[in-house]
Structure 1
Amino acid sequence: MTQFITRICTVFFVLVTTVISAQQDFQGQAIYQTKTTVDMSNFGGGQMSDQQKKQIAERMKSMLEKTYILNFNRSESTYKEEEKLDAPGVGGGRMRGFMSSFTGGPQYKDIKENVILQEQEFFGKQFLVKDSLPKLEWKLGSETKKIGQYTCFKATATKSVDEMDFMSMRRRGRNNDDKKEDEKKEGEEITDTTKTELDNPLDELETPKFVVVTAWYTPQIPVSTGPGEYHGLPGLILEVQADKTVMLCTKIVMNPQEKEGINKPETGEVVTREAYNTIMKEKIEEMREMYGGRGGRGGGRRN
């Protein structure tokens, strides 16, 4: 009898140990294809040909269509762009490097610690942007759809947009431009003075204060994370639609044999997102003064 009880206790201990070990070793990898749509119709203030717009759109494609890898466990995750070589003549290195300052580098999230870290290089200097995870008030819906083999549920939220979020930027006064076009069709001639007054391409752009986010998550993978900064749902987020950007999961590998380390980054000057935005705006202003200010009309270089 004593031996039987001892065996039962031993089996129970092994089972408990196995379950705890499995929970600790739990890890997954999800691949996301992301795409941002840009309206090229008003690009360049109407002074560019359709062919020029097409060429720019092709060069921007590598920046607007990307593949990201999300490695995650129960509480932590890393999210970074898949490394690949640019096709010859496409995506200009200097332009790509400049735009990466706006789009962000590798990202780390810790749900338990409520922290998000993003590696960021700006004009040769390394930063580590650190903030609390953005809190989204998700509204859970009953609508479902299949993404691959996973049943996903719909959730929506309203998200505040970072003022330097390049992916959400649009031409300033776009709605007013539409009205002007309607007036022109009626024979009224409109003079657009902004083309001569603007001295910085970013002056043409604005960012909405809020956007509606639609997410699709699967309770079949019980982790509260997803691509980018998105988190907080009762299952892995497999698809996100936010403003003009779509993030769609195309592949999931659970408990891969070769697990990639989910490590907290430590390289770079630690700053908040607000402080980093201030640094970017100051650098842009510095560049504007260096290269001529108001189109070279009175705000240019001083001898």
Structure 2
Amino acid sequence: MKSLFFKFSLLTLLGLLSYTPALEVQEFQGQATYFAKSSMELGRWGARMSEAQKKQVQARLKNRLEKTYVLNFNKEESVFNEEEKLDAMSGATDSWGKNFSPGEQYKNVKENKLVQSQEFYGKRFLVKDELLSLDWQMGKESKQIGQYLCFKAMALIPKTDLKWYDFSWGDLRRAAQKETDSTSTESTMPEIEMVQVEAWYTPQIPVGHGPGEFWGLPGLILEVSAGNTTMLCSKIVMNPKEKLKIEAPEKGKVITKSDYKETITAKMQEMRDNRGRRRS
């Protein structure tokens, strides 16, 4: 009888040890909200404008200069997306700016994989490529962001790699120069414009994620400044009660980053040529 009782007690104990409450096996997840602010780059056009005109343009472009993003992440994957909002003046979404803004972005830091949904004039693309290569220089400086202790890291990145989904009319000039150089016997290498990136990450959240293209530090990136844009984390929720959806987008024509850049540049060239023919 004692032997039988002992076996029953042992089985009961093993059963209790093997049982883990649902909360303890919950997948590690987090959600970070970022506020992004950009300054205007008016170039030579801006030099001819008064301060009042600059303020008017800045107010009109507020939706493009100030944005809110959400980053959902687990240990290996993340999804980064913009919170859509109405134009403050017209009450409509910024459809023109949407053509050259980053779409829903999935990153897998373990597999070095990027999957990003991009819409360009009604056509959907699915950009599949490697993550941006970042050679971080770790610093010793630290500062507090909210309740998190953060450390500084710096990197230099080619602007074309950082803004592959964007377009400027200078892209057409560079594309034309590239064609000229390819037919010339004395071609010269174009100058590569570099962007300095300053990031602040916290080891208190030990994941290699960050907003936008940025990743690869030993802690979640809470603040990053690159060119004329700064993104700052304003809220973090760790292991929310409701499970987050962290999956790669699936719809669209599959394409690489470089091919996508060439596609939108060629389309803008076509649009400019058509406009020129209508005027003549």
- For Structure 1 versus Structure 2, the TM-score category normalised by the shorter chain is 0.7 to 0.9
TM-score by length of 2: 0.81
- Matched residue type, 1:38: M
What per-residue deviation string (whole Å, max 9, x for no partner) do you get for residues 226-262 of structure 1? 1112111111111111121111000000111122311
Deviation, structure 1 residue 32: 0.2
Change (3 A) 1:140 1:53: same
Deviation, structure 1 residue 46: 4.1
The residue that corresponds to 2:28 in the other structure is 26
1:276 aligns with 2:226: no
The residue that corresponds to 1:260 in the other structure is 244
- Matched residue type, 1:287: M
Aligned 8 A contact 1:167 1:244 in 2 = no
Deviation, structure 1 residue 54: 2.3
Distance, in Å, in 1 between the alignment partners of 2:274 and 2:193 is 30
Aligned 8 A contact 1:163 1:207 in 2 = no
1:131 to 113, 116, 129: 129
Alignment RMSD, CA only? 3.1
Distance, in Å, in 1 between the alignment partners of 2:173 and 2:57 is 17
Distance, in Å, in 2 between the alignment partners of 1:65 and 1:207 is 30
Q: Percent identity?
A: 46
Distance, in Å, in 2 between the alignment partners of 1:222 and 1:166 is 28
What per-residue deviation string (whole Å, max 9, x for no partner) do you get for residues 67-100 of structure 1? 000011111111111122222337x75xx32222
Aligned 8 A contact 1:169 1:207 in 2 = no
Aligned 8 A contact 2:102 2:165 in 1 = no
Change (3 A) 1:254 1:263: same
Deviation, structure 1 residue 169: 8.5
- Matched residue type, 2:263: I
Q: Which runs of 5+ in 1 are unaligned?
A: 171-199, 293-299
Distance, in Å, in 1 between the alignment partners of 2:80 and 2:274 is 36
- Matched residue type, 1:52: Q
Distance, in Å, in 1 between the alignment partners of 2:196 and 2:166 is 12
Q: Which runs of 5+ in 2 are unaligned?
A: 1-5, 175-189
Distance, in Å, in 2 between the alignment partners of 1:277 and 1:218 is 33
2:19 to 10, 14, 30: 14
Q: Please give the secondary structure, in 1, of the residue aligned with 2:88.
A: coil
TM-score by length of 1: 0.75
Matches within 5 A, 1:46-57: 46-57=47-58
Aligned 8 A contact 1:165 1:207 in 2 = no
- Matched residue type, 1:36: S
Equivalent residues, number: 260
Deviation, structure 1 residue 134: 1.3
Q: Which moved more, 1:210-219 or 1:25-34?
A: 210-219
Distance, in Å, in 2 between the alignment partners of 1:203 and 1:272 is 20
Distance, in Å, in 2 between the alignment partners of 1:158 and 1:58 is 31
Q: Please give the secondary structure, in 2, of the residue aligned with 1:264.
A: coil
Deviation, structure 1 residue 267: 0.5
- Matched residue type, 1:76: E
The residue that corresponds to 1:78 in the other structure is 79
Distance, in Å, in 2 between the alignment partners of 1:229 and 1:163 is 9
What per-residue deviation string (whole Å, max 9, x for no partner) do you get for residues 112-147 of structure 1? 221111111111101111110112121222211110
Change (3 A) 1:246 1:8: same
Q: Please give the secondary structure, in 1, of the residue aligned with 2:119.
A: strand
The residue that corresponds to 1:250 in the other structure is 234
The residue that corresponds to 2:180 in the other structure is none
Q: Which moved more, 1:59-68 or 1:132-141?
A: 132-141
Q: Please give the secondary structure, in 1, of the residue aligned with 2:90.
A: coil
1:233 to 217, 225, 234: 217
